[in-house]
Structures are given as structure tokens and as C-alpha cells.
Amino acid sequence: MSQMFTTKYHNTCPAPSGTGVLQLRGAPSTIKDGDLTTIPVLYTGVEYFGAEVMGVDWSRPVLESVVEQLISQSNKYAFLIFRKTGLDNERHIAFSQQLGEKLEINPFFYGRENDRVGEPFLWDVGNIELDGSLVKENSRRWHHSLGNTLWHTDSSYHQIRSKYSILLFHGTPSRGGSWTHFVDMRQAYADLPQAKKDQPEDLVVEHDLWHSHKLGSPKVYHAPTASELAVKPPAYHRLVQTGPDGRKVLYLAAHAKRIGGKGLEESQRLVRELNEYCTQVKYVFSFEWLDSGDMVWWDNRQSMHRANPYTNEMTARDVRRSTIIDNGPLAFGVSEEEKIAVGFGKKKVGE
């Protein structure tokens, strides 16, 4: 199989001259490792973040030896790019199941009868309705999507968190208009001033899906419906965690609502401060969808991401996501006893 990369990858960083003009700076060459050839896409000054991968035969079930190599690459780079895979729903799910024991099941926010994809293990995160039209402005689905434009970690609002997300593009993307953005939470933590590292070391955070939706669309999601609250209650995780490569990370998301031992206002002030620090341009890579079958695999334990918002000028974006549930030592968040110990007992009205 020939190795040919379709894109020259560069990360956008502030120019060293201090003029504020952005320059392009990226990985110098490809790397051959076992069956795989990779090109790293973002150099943070110490490590690489993200890589395009070639060498996988997607026409058949992926060999276990290759899966092991891919997991090793994921641990190293935190997100992996695959171009023109040719995968369909069935093979997308099958590959995802090779990466973990369990996949998340889509709760069908808009009702099973309105699910366009028709696969419980795939989440429709595109902008297409059942009849083929685009999502209507000011519909509840439109406002639901606004939370996805904020920096977040998939399923941090679950008590058993997710490990990987696998996002696959169907159809032809609009050039220049289809992007997903990723941030390196490993290097962001490593660069934190020591005083800031000391502050969050033992903190526990409440993650609430409806909090992020309220941030994205405060009028519509000021009061989630009873069914929405029932299907997605909050979860509790430590703020500082250890990634699969042994490096410490900040486990953050727009879902982060309250911090144990702090009031809502103080919690949000610290969350905003940390989010703003972590999402500096030097830690961010913006990935452009170019072709049908393009796929991205990211590690939710090491990164945050966000989508571009819906607009009136948007074109069709058919993307479907599988989510692999974590089964590692930090997968289950904090215990009920730990949660109570840091102040998550009864909430005040309005919190």
C-alpha cells in the first residue's frame, strides 16, 4: 500500500517577532512506526499533538496487531486523523468495538422516530434533518448544538466517562467550512504556573450537560425539560488526572459547573480562567474535513474539542460519532463518599 499524505499539516502559532501576525509551523517529516506511517500536526515546543495516520487497511476488519499500534499512537498524540477510509456505519461501529469493551448508546434526544442514522451506537452530530433539510434556526436541535461549539470533553457529564470518540464524515464536506478544533490538555497543564497547579490539584468538579447548553443557549436551556434532566444527570470527576502516557492533564469541559467546596460564582470564575489558559492558540489544532470517509479519533482523557457553530450559510454536514466507554482506573469518577466529603450534598435552589 503506497504512503501518500493528502495534506501538509501546519499549526498556527504566534509569530516570534511579536508582531501578532500568525505564522505556520509544523512537523518536519513523516515517521514510520511498525505498519503505520504518521505525520504529526502540531508541535507545542516539547511534544507533538495529533497526527495523520496511513497504513491501515480499512477494507477489512483491522488486524489486532494494527489496533495495538493505533492505541499506542493515540496515547502518544491524543488525536489521530485518517483520510478517505471508505467506512460505513457497520464498519465504523465494528472498528470502535475493537478499541473498548463497551460503546455509549445514543439516548435519542429527538426521539427514535426522528433518528436519521438509525444506529444506537452512533450519534448524529451533523446538521441534517430526517427529511434531508438542514436543521432549522431556533429549533431545539439548533440550540442543542450550540453547546458543542464550546470547548468540551465528550461525556464528562457521565459518571463512567468516555475514553475515545470516533467521528466519521459522510458525503462531501464544504471546503473551507467544515472544521473541528482540538486542544492539548497535557501540554496546557505542563505549562501552568506552579501556583495554579497547586490550586486545582485535589479539586472535584461537577459536570452537567445542561449547564453547557445553558451557556450556549441561555434562553432555551435556562430550564431543561424533565426528560432531558432524567436522561443526563450530573457526574463528578477530579480536575487533575493522569493520562495514558503518564502525563498530568486538566479534565475540563464547558460541562464543568461547580467545584467542591466553592460556590457557583467562584467555581465558574476558576473554570473560565483555566479554560482560557488551556485554549490559547499555541495549544490548539484546527482540523479541516476534506473528503467523504475522513475520520478523526480523539482521546477524551487528554484533549478538549469543539465544533463550528451552525449558521444560516452552512452547507450539509453529515458526521456520525461513536464513543468508547473508559474502563481504566479513573473511569468511574469520584465515589459517593468523596463527593459528599468535598461538599456536594444538597444543592441550593437554582444551582
Query: Residue 142 phi/psi, 5° resolution?
Result: -55, -50
Parallel, antiparallel or unpaired: strands 303-307 and 179-184: antiparallel
314's CB contacts (< 8 A; 6+ apart) are: 127, 134, 174, 177
Q: What would the pLDDT profile of 88-108 be if each residue is shown by its tens digit? A: 999 999 999 999 989 998 865
- pLDDT(87) > 60: yes
| Interatomic CA distance for residues 204 and 8, integer angstroms | 40
Which of 4-18, 133-147, 248-262: highest mean pLDDT? 248-262
Name the percent of the chain lying above pLDDT 90. 60
- Average pLDDT of the residues in 308-316: 83
Fold of 11-341: Double-stranded beta-helix (3.60.130)
- pLDDT(350) > 70: no
- Average pLDDT of the residues in 327-331: 92
| Interatomic CA distance for residues 103 and 326, integer angstroms | 9
| Interatomic CA distance for residues 291 and 135, integer angstroms | 22
List the chain domain ranges: 11-341
Name the percent of the chain lying above pLDDT 70. 88
- Average pLDDT of the residues in 236-245: 95
Residue predicted with more confidence, 35 or 13? 35
| CA 313 to each of CA 61, 133, 136, 317: distance values in angstroms, whole numbers, following the listed order | 39, 13, 12, 12
Q: What would the pLDDT profile of 286-298 be if each residue is shown by its tens digit? A: 999 999 999 999 9
Prediction pTM value: 0.88
Q: What would the pLDDT profile of 151-189 be if each residue is shown by its tens digit? A: 999 999 999 999 999 999 999 888 777 889 999 999 999
| HSE of 218, CA atoms in CB hemisphere, 13 A | 1
Q: What would the pLDDT profile of 183-194 be if each residue is shown by its tens digit? A: 999 999 999 999
Q: What would the pLDDT profile of 131-149 be if each residue is shown by its tens digit? A: 888 888 888 788 877 778 8
| Interatomic CA distance for residues 310 and 286, integer angstroms | 17
